[in-house]
Amino acid sequence: MIPVCIPLVVGCPNKINPMGGDQSPRVCPRCHNASMFAAKSRVWFEFCFVPLIPLRSKDVWMCGICQLQTVMQPG
């Protein structure tokens, strides 16, 4: 019998989904463009590239040009 090696890939990537709604874009402090939008950032546990369990989530502001993310302050 020949032993078979099967690679298993496990990870915790960050997925970002834009929030809907009519929000005016904000000015990015890094690149100074009016391209920041509200988004929800989630970290998922993945097994073989399939997201299985959401570990944590937070609301963020994200720049569409330089990819800067800042956490939304309450209020």
Mean pLDDT of 4-32: 86
Q: Are 36 and 63 in contact (CB under 8 A)?
A: yes
Has residue 28 got a pLDDT over 90?
A: yes
Q: Which amino acid is at 40?
A: K
Q: What is the pLDDT of residues 65-74, one digit of tens each?
A: 999 999 987 7
* pLDDT score of 75: 60
Residue 28's CB is within 10 A of a number of other CB atoms, namely 20
